Homo-oligomer: A and B are copies of this chain.
Amino acid sequence: MSGAVDGPQPGGRAASAPLLGRQAEPTVFELSSPGRRAWSFRSSDLPSWQAHELVPPEHLASEPVALPELSERDLVAHHTRLTSRQYSVDLGAYPLGSCTMKYNPKLADATAGLAGLARVHPAAPAALTQGWLELLVGLGTSLAEITGMSAVSLQPPAGAAGELTGLLIMRAHHAHVGGSGAVRTKVLIPDSAHGTNPASVTLGGYRTVTVPSDHRGCVDMGALRRLLDDEVAGIMLTNPNTLGLFEEDIAEIAQAVHEIGGLVYYDGANLNAILGVTRPGDMGFDIVHLNLHKTFAVPHGGGGPGAGPVAVTEALAEYLPGPLPVLSHGRYHWQTPSRSIGRVHGWHGNTLALARAYAYVLATGGDGLRRVAEAAVLNANWLRQRLRGHYEIPYDRPCMHECVVSAAGLRRTHGVRATDVAKRLLEHGFHAPTVSFPLVVDEALMIEPTETESPQTVAALAQALIDIAATASPEDRHAPRGTPVARVDEARAARRLTATFDARGQG
């Protein structure tokens, strides 16, 4: 009747933007219209051989893979609207504990966009990539100094990959020093540890043995000593731990583990708290991984990419994944350590993320790094102090870069859970803290303001949390209101699994 073209939904309507209507945004598949397109390629002037001349018949696809067909305009509108439905550090505070959602300075974006870094082939000979190798060596050297370690591999692409790399180094070490007869099968992990730690232990071929925390929220030294025997390959710790507390006995712990021939692994997710203040190497750690996407301002990208370099003592350097960039005779080249565990990445790691981290290290410097830790710890302690009396504080002593409070009281009095508090905080214009972690705290809210939030922001965050506690009601279960979507039905998603557009209606 109207001569309108059927099918796809309009791509030039912004009703899905929170700015306007808050309808659901159509998927890119619903925006697709057959025959429409955005692509163009370089003109190449090559013979126009057809598909059947280029591909053997048995391989030739009978029909093309269906991808969405959009104009550039609709593609741009779709993603611009999607981003308008997304919270981010650049919009406001993101006090997600253990995640160190600090502000990522814009200069690093420029770094990653440099053609001289971004347009380099990873298999190009070292002679053509001296700048990259110098950058990697520079970053590695800085990280070694910051952690107090001797040697670094930049290959692991994230924290968990760093952990597994470290455990494989541990394994290689024991295999070497202990001979083939060694039966070190266990790795100790505190009950407050992040989930990647035990998972990595399993993948590293070890069995996880849980070390309980004591009343201070730290490793229970007595329990630890009881668990130490010659089947223990080592221990994995964060320090400060995931309660945001500094393990004061760290030197004794390390010594005890070393005494039984074990190694001490440092999960660097919380390194932000101690930059320039103290170093894992000085504490007695043997292996350290860093989350450059936490401490070194590599943006999180909605869940990656990150980078999880591993640093080790001199004794363990020979096991590092290779090849490693090294300087000799004034030129940089690649070299694989003698007893290397092998590659842990297809190429050299998440190199452009490493370049960002290097820019951050240069900009921050030795003076700035310590300032980072000071401000991060100051913010967290101020917040902890401010929340006292409004939330339960399970381990109420000076914290480091984050503090863990509990909504257990609110649950008892109003049926309001930590998750509800988190959702209500969204209504106040803040991202939520981490909830239900660490597992050792009931109704945990793990709050990490980071150093890049101003005192005013931390005060406003505290006030919002206080207001939420003061006005808690069973209605909070329906929070958040006003967000692009209301409380999301997670159970339904699992029950009627719809993980692709094509599975719609089949769930």
| Contact surface of A with B, Cβ cutoff 8 Å | 2-5, 7-23, 33, 36, 71-74, 76-77, 80-81, 84-88, 90-93, 103, 105-106, 382, 385-386, 426-430, 452-462, 464, 482-484
* Docked-complex contact A19 and B452, CB < 8 angstroms: no
User: Measured between alpha carbons, how far is A17 from B89 in the docked complex, in Å?
Assistant: 13
* Docked-complex contact A482 and B20, CB < 8 angstroms: yes
* Docked-complex contact B14 and A73, CB < 8 angstroms: no
CB of A100 to closest CB in B, whole Å: 14
* Docked-complex contact A456 and B9, CB < 8 angstroms: yes
User: Measured between alpha carbons, how far is A460 from B21 in the docked complex, in Å?
Assistant: 14
* Docked-complex contact A74 and B454, CB < 8 angstroms: yes
Chain B residues near A22 (CB, 8 Å)? 482
What is the count of identical protomers in the complex?
A: 2
Q: Is the interface of A mostly helix, strand, loop or mixed?
A: loop
CB closest residue in chain B, given A4: B459
* Docked-complex contact A92 and B77, CB < 8 angstroms: yes
* Docked-complex contact A36 and B454, CB < 8 angstroms: yes
Chain B residues near A74 (CB, 8 Å)? 454
A-B contact pairs, 24 of them (CB 8 A): A2-B386, A3-B382, A3-B385, A4-B455, A8-B456, A9-B460, A10-B456, A10-B457, A10-B460, A13-B428, A13-B429, A13-B430, A13-B457, A13-B461, A17-B92, A19-B84, A19-B91, A20-B427, A20-B482, A36-B454, A71-B103, A71-B454, A77-B91, A80-B88
* Docked-complex contact A452 and B73, CB < 8 angstroms: yes
Chain B residues near A93 (CB, 8 Å)? 10, 12-14
Chain B residues near A386 (CB, 8 Å)? 2-4
Given A13-B92, A15-B429, A5-B459 contact (CB < 8 Å) = yes
